[in-house]
Amino acid sequence: MSVASVRTQPFAGQRPGTSGLRKKVTVFQQPHYLENFVQALFDILPSQVGEFSGATLVLGGDGRFHNRVAVQTILRMAAANGWGRVLVGQGGWLSTPAASAVIRRHRAFGGIILSASHNPGGPDGDFGIKYNIGNGGPAPEKITEAIYARSQTIDVYRSLDGVADLDLSQPGRFELEGMAVEVIDPVADYAELMESLFDFDAMRAWFAAGHRMRFDAMSAICGPYARAILEGQLGAPAGTVVNGEPLEDFGGHHPDPNPAHAQELMAAMAAADAPDFGAASDGDADRNMVLGRDFVVTPSDSLAVMAAHATLVPGYRAGLAGIARSMPTSCAADAVARALGIECHETPTGWKFFGNLLDAGRATLCGEESYGTGSSHVREKDGLWAVLFWLNLQAATGQSVEQLVRAHWTRFGRHYYSRHDWEGIPTDRADALMAELRGRLPSLVGQTLDGLHLAQADDFAYTDPVDGSLSSRQGVRLLIDGGARVVFRLSGTGTEGATLRVYLERYEAEPARHNLPVQQVLAPLIALADQVAGIRRHGGLDAPAVIT
Ligand code: G16
């Protein structure tokens, strides 16, 4: 075994997006592609974060195709670059929230997570890699930009020669060129953390009383976690977790828990014999969808309901320091924060923007419209945690999901909400659309279009209240009198062409109008969005590919 320096050349486009570097598997399979990115990361850490020689790195991924190969590559590179110890999940597996929990619990220097989250997997699917810092959260932009800059000048990487793949199929310990490799149970630390936050006795009693649940793991990494906790610790009947075996191609599923992609679950929850509670998580287990019987909870409402009832959950009994939501997420949580007299922060899209607020104790719960909810227990959004939170609320109140949400609307009003995704737009056309829209902003303020008065129109910019860093151009907002909003931004997680996301929100205080079809309520805003942005004209498309 010997340390080798391998000559290489930069690859264009290794800039991490909303959540790490995500590309087609075939891109990652190019010789040196992954190695370049990993070496760029190792090269910039000493100046950006600190010296890692002898320190602990956490490593694991969502088990998608290419995970097994990538884990072995990274282990060899970590040893050649002087890390002291790597904690790697058994089989190379760690869900994203579990990786965050492991980093924090073991006070690791940082962690590498292999995932393209909700993107499809398999040889023709997507792969991804991201770095999380010692607080367990995604690296901030300062670090991801430094990685990118280094990736554009890199000419050599370090690895080990003559090393066979390690057998990661069982917990155990290896030595690689002086570096310890510890293969850990991917579920244990996470399950203990969940037990410390929730009322497991009340949840056991809820199942014992005959309540039923269906958890769809979408053939992704949450399966083992959900089985261990729901069926193992909480006594839910076997079969409560469906699609519970993680598969390299997610069984062909698009592992994105929303009504469009979790159709099997939607159908089961609409059936005559539907269980009381339905839930799903995504490829790397950080997203969640929560359903009642034939009743969909939007992620924005989910955050608001959780915040309003947080003190019913043992881990949050002392109350919330504050709430944070991404800008396109509805303002439902803001109403709760006002009622509780706590801070509510509006951040750009991307979980990394919550890190400073959580570290500074200025937020306890965070949420995003993109089916992400989490808290200060880790520094990632956490799918199963959110599902356990809702389970705890049902067990503590005796109310169903639908009853909890309807009572919430009666108290706070309803924020009707939907997101329209226009997928597969050629990148240059999507850029032209956004440029034109930004150019029109000054002329839009104060206009009344089809009866909608535009009180404000801007491009969202965020100054982090903790470190003062500024993130600009984070999405175009049209703010309309009466609390309605239309937001436009381009997705930062896709791998093919561009996806335009149009977020639509309208507030309704009157309980008699809380039961209307969502798209009907939002129709004037949908028309306004197309009129102002010229979506059909620019995109060359007739209709959004996904409506959630
Ligand atoms: C990631 C980020 C989220 C973001 C989502 C969608 O989630 O962590 O903060 O809301 O992408 O981003 P975009 O609208 O740019 O596609 P995940 O679950 O993919 O890691």
Structure tokens at 28: 């990652």
Q: How far is the CA of 371 from the centre of ligand 1 (A)?
A: 9
- Mean pLDDT, range 40-55, rounded to an integer: 97
493 lines ligand 1 (CB under 6 A): yes
Q: Of residues 19, 100, 117, 418, which has the active-site annotation? A: 117
Q: What are the backbone dihedrals phi and psi of residue 249, each rounded to the nearest 5 degrees, phi first?
A: -115, 15
User: What does the alpha-carbon distance between residue 57 and residue 375 come to, in Å, rounded to a whole number?
Assistant: 23
Instruction: Determine the pLDDT at residue 227.
Output: 98
Instruction: Determine the pLDDT at residue 446.
Output: 87
Nearest CA to ligand 1 atom 13: 491
Which range has the worst mean pLDDT, 19-33, 170-184, 363-377, 442-456?
442-456
- Mean pLDDT, range 41-51, rounded to an integer: 97
- Mean pLDDT, range 506-529, rounded to an integer: 95
Structure tokens at 428: 């240059």
Nearest CA to ligand 1 atom 19: 117
Instruction: Determine the pLDDT at residue 19.
Output: 83
18 lines ligand 1 (CB under 6 A): yes
Q: pLDDT tens-digit profile of 83-133?
A: 999 999 999 999 999 999 999 999 999 999 999 999 999 999 999 999 999
Nearest CA to ligand 1 atom 2: 350
Q: How far is the CA of 117 from the centre of ligand 1 (A)?
A: 8
Q: Where are the alpha helices (DSSP H) in 21-123?
A: 25-28, 33-48, 67-80, 96-105
pLDDT band of 541, cuts 50, 70, 90: confident
Active site (annotated) includes residue 169: no
Q: How far is the CA of 307 from the centre of ligand 1 (A)?
A: 21
- Cα distances from 25 to residues 28, 75, 100, in angstroms, run 5, 19, 24
Instruction: Determine the pLDDT at residue 513.
Output: 95
Instruction: Determine the pLDDT at residue 416.
Output: 97
- Mean pLDDT, range 247-270, rounded to an integer: 94
Only one residue has tokens 């958890």, namely 215
Q: What percent of the chain has pLDDT over 90?
A: 90
Q: How far is the CA of 287 from the centre of ligand 1 (A)?
A: 9
Q: How far is the CA of 15 from the centre of ligand 1 (A)?
A: 15
349 lines ligand 1 (CB under 6 A): yes
Q: Would you say residue 510 has pLDDT above 80?
A: yes
Q: What is the pTM of this model?
A: 0.93
Q: Bridge-partner residues for 17, per DSSP? A: 20
Q: What percent of the chain has pLDDT over 70?
A: 100
pLDDT band of 518, cuts 50, 70, 90: very high
Instruction: Determine the pLDDT at residue 253.
Output: 85
Q: Which atom from ligand 1 is nearest to the alpha carbon of 494?
A: 16
118 lines ligand 1 (CB under 6 A): yes
Question: Do 106 and 185 touch, CB atoms closer than 8 A?
Answer: no
Nearest to 532, CA basis, from 460, 445, 474: 445
Q: Would you say residue 489 has pLDDT above 80?
A: yes
- Mean pLDDT, range 21-26, rounded to an integer: 96
Q: Is 349 helix (H, G, I), strand (E, B) or coil?
A: coil
pLDDT band of 497, cuts 50, 70, 90: confident
Q: How far is the CA of 500 from the centre of ligand 1 (A)?
A: 13
Q: Would you say residue 188 has pLDDT above 90?
A: yes
- Mean pLDDT, range 479-491, rounded to an integer: 94
Q: Would you say residue 268 has pLDDT above 80?
A: yes
By most ligand atoms within 8 Å of CB, the mutation choice from 22, 222, 349 for ligand 1 is 349
Nearest CA to ligand 1 atom 7: 19
Q: Is 92 helix (H, G, I), strand (E, B) or coil?
A: strand
Q: Would you say residue 197 has pLDDT above 90?
A: yes
Question: Do 349 and 326 touch, CB atoms closer than 8 A?
Answer: yes
Burial of 483 (0-12, 13-18, 19+ CB in 10 A): middle
By most ligand atoms within 8 Å of CB, the mutation choice from 132, 254, 282, 370 for ligand 1 is 370
Secondary structure element (H or E) that encloses residue 279, with its range: strand 277-281
Instruction: Determine the pLDDT at residue 54.
Output: 95
Q: pLDDT tens-digit profile of 283-322?
A: 999 999 999 999 999 999 999 999 999 999 999 999 999 9
